[in-house]
Amino acid sequence: MSALWQENVKLPQFHSLSGNKTTDVLIIGGGMAGILCAHFLGENGVDYTLVEGKRIASGITKNTTAKITAQHGLIYHKLLKSIGIENARKYLEINQLAVKKYEELCGAINCDFQKKTAYVYSHDNRKKIEKEADALYRIGYNPKFSVVSRLPFPIAASVGFEDQAQFHPLKFIAKLAQGLNIYENTFVKEFIGNKAVTNNGEIVFKKLIMATHFPINNKHGLYFLKMYQHRSYVLAIEKGENIQGMYVDEDRKGMSFRNYKDLLLIGGGSHRTGKKGGNWSELREFSQIYYPYAKEKYYWATQDCMTLDGLPYIGQYSKGLCDCYVATGFNKWGMTSAMVAGMLLSDMIIGKKNDYANIFTPQRSMLNPQLFINGLEASKNLLTITKKRCPHMGCALKWNAVEQTWDCPCHGSRFSKEGKILDNPANGDNNADNSTSVS
């Protein structure tokens, strides 16, 4: 099981840290967000160091469907209610800027960058699509409304953003990472003040960016309450249709579609990590019905951090950590949100005012029904009696028979059958010798 992006791509290799080091800015995490932060800081002449516990792009980034778009489901009519018309417009603007920034960078990188129209569709609820289109008109954007599609089933309607994009994420990273100040296989075990302790040395820093997908510092920010993780699945099939765009169902349990060369990527089967869902079985059943002559070429799964209000957390880690920044909670839109994080956090580091920063502040209100759902899920699993516990915060682990892993329903950590860490926020294997989260 591996994503198609990993085939025939040679990522640059970097040495692991050996000895002690000082740096102005330490970036932890070598995925798309961390590497873009490093790129922009380097462009601004900032002294930075990026450390990655394994290889760059070895985590969630390699499992993306690699859509670059400012259209994040039916979000804009919700934003009008929750943050008002001006901030909703800003959210659209900064994400459109992110799309354009990718286009600019990809102009010098051979990464299969293609402009596409991104559609959100509904099977049976035209009113939902009309409501979203109306919200976009009010914000000042003219969407593409349609009742037909290139999908193999009828739809009630769709709303589209033109001039969005798709690309090959690892080809992009392979080029962008060249020349960056990166240490691979450098695992941060703990923090002591402004010093990060790794397996082979210590790094003293002035400022810190946490780009670790799910933040690993439990003492600050309450991210274990503000987020949960959601698992979803992808098939890449040959002899599927060219759908001439990128599509996603407005229903979170629906499917997404995009093409890559002669392949059709079908995503779906999703569920909260640690729960049961349709997984690849759902996608394979769909493929057999609508593309009976298709051949499965690749299959993989991914994981997303979901926030309380559908907006990422990008900015100061917490009120108590003034020189620590975070990029997390991308809500299934990791490519665009990673670019937003790179632009915003680099501006914050150099002291440049950014008019979009207030939208994403992690210090915004937590009063949201999802907060109580997250708390209830954690309480229930903490009280579940089982020998298999997550080293992150002690929740009961659930056996995932489909992927042969132990998964945490509370915060989304995942472990192999043997207890090796696969996905954070747990910061070590599921055993007594290496089970402590960074704090």
Report residue 429 as tokens. 């294997």
Q: How far apart are CA 181 and CA 21, in angstroms?
A: 12
Q: How far apart are CA 407 and CA 215, in angstroms?
A: 17
Topology adopted by domain 4-64+171-226+310-360: FAD/NAD(P)-binding domain (3.50.50)
- Dump pLDDT digits (tens) for 250-297: 998 899 999 999 999 999 999 999 888 899 999 999 999 999 999 999
Residue-level pLDDT at 437: 37
CATH number corresponding to 115-165+228-306:
3.30.9.10
* 33 closest CA partner among 164, 168, 177, 167: 177
Report pLDDT digits (tens) over 295-320. Answer: 999 999 999 999 999 999 999 999 88
pTM value surpassing 0.85: yes
Q: Which long-range contacts (CB under 8 A, 24 or more apart) does 251-254 make?
A: 251/122, 251/123, 252/73, 253/278, 254/123
- As a whole number of Å, the end-to-end CA separation of the chain is 33
**291, amino acid identity:** Y
The answer to whether 326 and 221 have CB atoms below 8 angstroms apart is: yes
The pLDDT of residue 436 is: 35
Nearest to 341 by CA among 214, 221, 211: 211
CATH code at 369-423: 2.102.10.10
What is the structure's pLDDT at 438? 41
pLDDT at 115: 98
pLDDT digits (tens, 9 = 90+) for 403-416: 999 999 888 899 99
Question: Rounded to whole angstroms, how far apart are CA atoms 189 and 183?
Answer: 15
Q: What is the pLDDT of residue 76?
A: 98
In order of 363, 366, 367, the CA distances from 315 in angstroms are 9, 16, 19
Can you say how many angstroms the Cα of residue 313 is from the centroid of all Cα atoms in its chain?
Answer: 11
What lies within 8 Å, CB to CB, of 407 at 6+ separation is 231, 273, 274, 397, 398, 399, 400, 413, 414, 415
Total residue count of the chain as it appears in this document: 439
pLDDT less than 50: residues of the chain? 432-439
pLDDT at 439 (0 to 100): 36
How far apart (Å, rounded) are the C-alpha atoms in residues 437 and 411?
A: 13
Q: Where are the domains of the chain?
A: 4-64+171-226+310-360, 115-165+228-306, 369-423
Nearest alpha-carbon partner for 157 in 139, 134, 179, 178: 134
pLDDT one-digit tens code per residue, 182-217: 999 999 999 999 999 998 999 999 999 999 999 988
What pLDDT score was predicted for residue 221? Answer: 87
Tokens of 217: 């510092």
Distance CA(435)–CA(429), nearest Å, equals: 6
Is 134 in contact with 161 (CB distance < 8 Å)? no
46 exposure class (CB count in 10 Å sphere: 0-12, 13-18, 19+): middle
Q: Regarding beta strands 313-318 and 321-328, do their DSSP bridges make them parallel or antiparallel, or are they unpaired?
A: antiparallel
Residues 6 or more apart from 122 whose CB is under 8 A from it?
Answer: 128, 129, 155, 156, 157, 158, 249, 250, 251
Distance CA 334, CA 326 (A): 14
Q: For residue 313, what are the β-bridge partners? A: 328
Please give the pLDDT value at position 67. Answer: 98
Q: Quick one: pLDDT at residue 191? A: 92
Q: Which two tokens stand for residue 9?
A: 């791509």
CB 59 within 8 Å of CB 31: yes
Structure tokens at 312: 């990422």
Residue with the two structure tokens 């979203």: 132
**Single-letter code of the amino acid located at 137:** Y
pLDDT for 321: 86
Residue type, position 37, single letter:
C
